[in-house]
Amino acid sequence: MKALTFEKFGGPEVLQYRDVPDPLERSGCVIVTMKAVGLNYADIYRRKGNYHLSGQPPFIAGYEGAGVIEWVADDVQGYQAGDRVGFADVPYANAEKVLVPADHLIPLPEGISFATAAASLLQGLTAHYLCTDSYRVKAGDDVLVHAAAGGVGSLLTQMIRFQGGNVFGLTSNEEKRSAILSSGVEHCALYSESWVQKAVDCSRSGEGMDAAFDSVGSTLAESFASVRPKGTVVFYGMAGGDPQPVDPRMLMDTSKTLTGGDLWSYLTSHEERVKRAGILFQWILDENLKITEPVCYALAEGKEAHLYLESRKSTGKILLIP
290 with 184, same domain?
no
- Number of domains comprising the chain: 2
61 with 116, same domain?
yes
Do 143 and 310 contact (CB within 8 A), yes or no?
no
pTM for the whole structure: 0.93
pLDDT for residue 178: 93
Residue 10 maps to a domain: yes
25 with 99, same domain?
yes
3-state DSSP percent of the chain in helix, strand and coil, to 5:
35, 25, 40
pLDDT for residue 241: 87
250 with 294, same domain?
no
Nearest-angstrom CA–CA distance, 189 and 171: 7
114 with 9, same domain?
yes
Residue 133 maps to a domain: no
Q: Which of 236, 260, 284 is the endpoint of a domain?
A: 260
pLDDT for residue 41: 86
Q: Which of 235, 260, 285 is the endpoint of a domain?
A: 260
Q: Is the pLDDT of residue 189 over 80?
A: yes
174 with 256, same domain?
yes
Residue 78 maps to a domain: yes
3-class DSSP state of 180: helix
Q: Is the pLDDT of residue 54 over 80?
A: no
Nearest-angstrom CA–CA distance, 237 and 241: 9
Q: Is the pLDDT of residue 315 over 80?
A: no
256 with 278, same domain?
no
Residue 161 maps to a domain: yes
Q: Which of 260, 280, 302 is the endpoint of a domain?
A: 260
Least confident of 110-124, 233-247, 305-319: 305-319
Residue 105 maps to a domain: yes
pLDDT for residue 180: 92
255 with 272, same domain?
no
273 with 250, same domain?
no
pLDDT for residue 170: 97
Q: Is the pLDDT of residue 52 over 80?
A: no
52 with 159, same domain?
no
Q: Is the pLDDT of residue 34 over 80?
A: yes
46: CATH = 3.90.180.10
Domain that holds residue 104: 2-120+267-321
CA quadruple 141, 147, 152, 156: dihedral, nearest 10? 10
151 with 195, same domain?
yes
The tens digit of pLDDT for each residue in 80-124 reads 999 999 999 999 999 999 999 999 999 999 999 999 999 999 999
Residue 129 maps to a domain: no
The burial of 255, by beta-carbon neighbours within 10 Å (0-12 exposed, 13-18 middle, 19 or more buried), is given as: exposed
pLDDT for residue 295: 94
2-6, strands of its sheet edge to edge: 15-19, 2-6, 59-60
Residue 131 maps to a domain: no
160: CATH = 3.40.50.720
111 with 47, same domain?
yes
Residue 314 maps to a domain: yes
